[in-house]
Amino acid sequence: MLTIRRLYLYAMSGVMLVVLASGLRLLLSVLLDTLGLAGDPALGGGSTRETLSLAGALVGVGLPVWAIHWWLVRRATLGGDAEAEAERASPIRAAYVSIVLAVTLAFMATAAIDVVRSILQEVLDLRPAYGSIGDPAGSIATILICGAAWGFHAWVRRVDLLAGPLSGGAVLWPRLYLYVAQLITLVAMTGAVSGFTNALADRIAAGGVAGFDDYANYTIPSALAVLAVAGALFLAHAVYTLRLVAEPGWRGESERRSHMRVGYLVILIGAGLSATIGGLGESLRGLLLVLLGAADGSLPPGGIARATIVPLVVLAPWLGAAVHARYQLLREAGRAPAPGRAAAGTRLDQHVRSLVGLGYGAVALAWLLGIALDALIGGDRYALGSGGRAFDLASFLPNAILGLAVWALAWARVTASRVANPDAEASSGIRRAALLAVLGAGLAASVGSAAFILYRVFGSALGVVGGPGVASELASAMGILVVAAAVALYHGLVVREDVRARAHPTDTTAAGIPVDLPSRAVPATPPPAGGERPLVLHADPGVDLDAALAAARAALPPGAHLVDARQPPTQ
Amino acid sequence: MSGQRGFLAVVAGIVALLILTVGVVLVQGDRPLASFGPGSPEAAVQAYLVAWDAGDDRAAWTAFSARVKAATPVDAYPEQAQLLRTKGFMTDGSRQVFVSPAKLSGESATVPVTVETTAVSGMNVNRYRQTTTFPMVREEGAWKIDQLLMGTEFWYADK
């Protein structure tokens, strides 16, 4: 009953907040326009009063209805009794606040980007000759109203946190907001770096010609605006998170133990490493194209300098994010009091790096193998031009080398860990998930490419298809099959070794000699000393009794013996 | 109690904003039309826009440079203009046209012109702005638009 009431109150508060905020935004933009923010028009005018009427209607309806519902919400948290505590700790309340924070932040950021872009266009004299531009009064109104709504709800959240510990959904939703906001602003920033760098390179390549270069005139200020706004928001949320992690109280403890935080850091490491390999590969591609004599028509405006430098600039923020995330992951895992957290952090780092490296390396290697096979079996993939093969080589070779190098370095660490701690590593859920993911992907690619090969082979045999085009298709598919099957086979063998290791865990004595332990886990408390229990070993027809007895004896803990009543004791 | 005061402050602030805005709009009224120095590029653009909006195509055509006039004779211009223009659409209450300060470079200049359109549909208000930069040249002491335009849209004469 309370849940339904809560859902109603927060849903109505949310809907009315949208109505109220829309009206306030219009109101403020009318005020700013009337005060002459956009200047005096040369022609036209007259929509102010109509807009004001609409704004008044929205505020007139939205304000009382929102105020009543929010007053009821507030009243439910007062009193300090169990009901008030339940309201404060409600996941519905946390979800509502988090959604409001996210939506208002998104609108604020968009409007701020418009304002900053307009300022930069004026300051840098980069106005496009023709195009749509922002509405300064509307953008400033959006920033102020959404900023006020964000601040109000952040304050509501702060009051809830100061009242005492929270758990479950009451912390998960705001945490989700925090990490999603950081991820989105980071992606926006890196996209802006790419847009700005490419537009600047285009401008430089064109000789810095001034004039109606609308693309550069729009892209450069836009990218700088996104970089400024998204960068500020990312830094603000990241600094807040780092302070939260360092807090000694329940909030810091909750954040440090959070799986969502670990997942966020792992995503940053994976995405950052992926962008780094991709960017380095693109940079090396330019050099290879020149070395292979296939640079004509393949390089972007600006030539080899642009082809090698721009990708390095673009990957820089991702590399920075990945390095910082890795540092945080390992540091926090190493400081965690819970046993095994340090090892788990190291495992995550090693496996995500090996997965990313393998992804790039295996895919590129498969394509390179396909190119080689295409040349061997006489395919016509490159029949139209002589530069195609060189272009593909230059595209895939750097990724193959970089990807496999990253994988090899990470996998060496994984293997070393496995040798040093066989039981712990073989039992690790992280290791198992990574291995099975690779095994699954390898099998899927193998099956898919094998099916395609059979399809083409049958088609050729039946006279449906034929010719050099088919040979090229088969070459690509065979390249994928060989690499995918090898990856699947290798990782399948590793999985099998782990299964065996879990069934027969190994421990080392003080002298370092491996001693087999029983496959059952040794109980934490010692078994009762002494005693005998007569048993009867029964076997169905066809079962070897002696073998069954031997297996039972092998499973006994030290100090326990099975005595065959018909024979002398064997242990 | 501080939570209660904060909530009441928010409500009071909203009411104050509403009252302030209504008061300012009633007192201030609509913004006056901008006036530019005689003979300035901005004044030339404004004169062109006024003529265009009023449907006076010959007057609008005189705002163009000699080069543009040579490519599009005076009789050809109204023909095309008729197809594209709704008379008075810039002054129908849903639009405002802003002429930004010109950037001068010797005998040439650029003047950004922004058309702000407010579209009200039910309870929904959308406002968007489109900017066109007019290239200008000075001919015989007067500023002329050095690009064929239909209203604020660039136009390219048929050969």
What is the greatest pairwise CA distance in chain B? 77
Asked whether residue A432 carries a pLDDT value surpassing 60, the answer given is yes
Q: Which CATH architecture has domain B40-154?
A: Roll (3.10)
CA A179 – CA A457 distance, rounded (Å) = 50
- The answer to whether A211 contacts chain B (CB < 8 Å) is no
Closest CA to A50 of B32, B40, B49, B93: B93
Determine the Cα–Cα distance for residues B28 and B61; give it in Å rounded to an integer: 36
pLDDT over 70 at A322, yes or no: yes
- Of residues A423 and A294, the one with the higher pLDDT is A423
Say if the Cβ atoms of B97 and A42 lie within 8 Å.
yes
Contact A183, A264 (CB under 8 A): yes
CB contact under 8 A, A45 and B17: no
Give the pLDDT mean for A444-455. 94
Mean per-residue pLDDT, B58-80: 86
Q: Which residue has the higher pLDDT, B128 or A488?
A: A488
Asked if A515 and A508 touch (Cβ cutoff 8 Å), the reply is yes
DSSP string for A103-159: HHHHHHHHHHHHHHHHHHHHHTT---SEEEE--HHHHHHHHHHHHHHHHHHHHHHHH
Q: Supply the mean pLDDT for chain B.
A: 84
* Beta pairing, strands B95-99 & B153-154: unpaired
Q: How confident is the model at residue B31, as a pLDDT?
A: 80
- Residue B109 sits at φ, ψ, to 5 deg, of -160, 165
Note the pLDDT of residue A498: 92
Q: Say if B96 is an interface residue toward chain A (CB within 8 Å).
A: yes
Residues 3-32 of A with CB under 8 A from B: 20, 24, 26-31
The pLDDT of residue A17? 96
Using CA atoms, how far apart are residues B48 and B119, in angstroms rounded to an integer?
Answer: 25
So what's the pLDDT on residue A241?
Answer: 96
pLDDT band at A399 (very low <50, low <70, confident <90, very high): very high
Yes or no, beta carbons of A34 and B31 under 8 Å apart? yes
**What percent of chain A clears pLDDT 90, i.e. is strictly above it?**
57
- d(Cα A18, Cα A2) in Å, to the nearest integer? 24
For chain A, say whether B86 makes contact (Cβ under 8 Å): no
Q: How far apart are CA A145 and CA A142, in angstroms?
A: 5
The stretch A344-351 carries a mean pLDDT of 94
Any idea which of A340-354, A379-393, A489-503 has the lowest mean pLDDT? A379-393
Q: Is the pLDDT of residue A153 over 70?
A: yes
Is the Cβ pair B3, A130 closer than 8 Å? no
The pLDDT value given to residue A528? 59
Q: Is the pLDDT of residue A240 over 60?
A: yes
Do the Cβ atoms of A28 and B21 come within 8 Å? yes
> Quick one: pLDDT band at residue B28, thresholds 50, 70, 90?
confident
Is B31 in contact with A41 (Cβ distance < 8 A)?
A: yes
User: A149: closest CA among A76, A100, A214?
Assistant: A100
Q: Which two tokens stand for residue B11?
A: 């409500």
Cβ of A45 within 8 Å of Cβ of B131? The answer is no
**Contacts for A149-154 with beta carbons within 8 Å, 24 or more apart?**
A149/A17, A149/A21, A149/A100, A149/A104, A150/A100, A150/A101, A150/A104, A150/A105, A150/A108, A152/B10, A153/A97, A153/A100, A153/A101, A153/A104, A154/A101
Q: Residue A457: its pLDDT value, please?
A: 87
CA pair distance A17, A70, nearest whole angstrom = 10
Confidence of residue A132 (pLDDT cuts 50, 70, 90): low
For the ranges A46-55, A83-92, B65-74, the lowest mean pLDDT is seen at: A46-55
φ, ψ for residue A519, nearest 5 deg: -70, -25
Contacts of A229 by beta carbon, 8 Å cutoff, 6+ apart: A109, A112, A113, A116
Helix, strand, coil tally for chain A in percent (to 5): 75, 0, 25
CA dist., res. A356 & res. A339, Å (int): 28
ipTM of the predicted structure?
A: 0.82
Q: Which amino acid is present at A124?
A: L
pLDDT, greater one: B71 or A269: A269
Is A65 in CB contact (< 8 Å) with chain B?
A: no
Q: Which two tokens stand for residue A122?
A: 């004026």
Residue A123 CB contacts under 8 Å (≥ 6 apart), including other chains: none
Q: Which of A129, A133, A152 sits opposite B114 (nearest CB)?
A: A133
Q: Is the pLDDT of residue A510 over 50?
A: no
CB pairs under 8 A between A and B: 148
Residue reference for tokens 């039946």:
A462
CB contact residues (below 8 A), chain A span 497-526, against chain B: none
Of B10, B34, B127, the CB nearest to A41: B34
Distance CA B102, CA A192 (A): 30
Q: Taking CB atoms and an 8 Å limit, are A42 and B14 in contact across chains? A: no
pLDDT exceeds cutoff 70 at A527: no
Q: Which of residues 25-44 of B touch A (CB under 8 A)?
A: 25, 28, 30-34, 36, 42
Model confidence at A214: pLDDT above 70: no
Q: Residue B17 and residue A27: Cβ atoms within 8 Å? A: yes
* φ, ψ dihedrals at B131, nearest 5°: -115, 135
Which residues, other chains included, contact A445 with Cβ-Cβ below 8 Å and sequence gap of 6+?
A480, A481, A484
pLDDT at position A454:
92
Alpha-carbon distance of A479 to A493, in angstroms, equals 21
* A212 near B CB under 8 A: yes
pLDDT at B35 over 60: yes
Half-sphere exposure of A566 (CA within 13 A, CB side): 4
B134 to chain A: nearest residue by CA? Answer: A129
Residue B121 has pLDDT above 80, yes or no: no
Is the pLDDT at A4 greater than 90? The verdict is yes
Distance (Å, rounded) from C-alpha B132 to C-alpha A336? Answer: 60
| pLDDT score recorded for residue B62 | 92
Which residue type does A75 have?
A: R
φ, ψ of residue A247 in degrees (nearest 5): -65, 140
Confidence of residue A534 (pLDDT cuts 50, 70, 90): confident
At residue A356, the pLDDT reads 97
pLDDT at A329 over 50: yes
Residue of A25, A29, A35, A43 best to disrupt the B interface, most CBs of B under 10 A: A43
* pLDDT, averaged across chain A: 87
Among A410-414, B72-76, B104-108, top mean pLDDT goes to A410-414
pLDDT given for residue A502 in this prediction: 87
Q: Range with the lowest mean pLDDT among A92-96, A201-205, A310-314, B142-146?
A: A201-205
The runs of H, that is alpha helices, within chain B are 2-28, 41-54, 57-61, 66-71, 76-84
Does residue A236 carry a pLDDT above 60? yes
pLDDT at A325 exceeding the cut of 90: yes
Backbone angles phi, psi at A378, to 5 degrees: 80, 40
**What HEC string does A166-234 produce?**
CCCHHHHHHHHHHHHHHHHHHHHHHHHHHHHHHHHHHHHHCCCCCCCCHHHHHHHHHHHHHHHHHHHHH
Question: Which residues on chain A are in Cβ contact (under 8 Å) with B46?
Answer: 42-43
- Regarding predicted confidence, which is higher, A531 or A197? A197
More confidently predicted of A524 and A63: A63
The radius of gyration computed from the CA coordinates of chain A, to the nearest angstrom, equals 33
Residue A520 has pLDDT above 60, yes or no: no
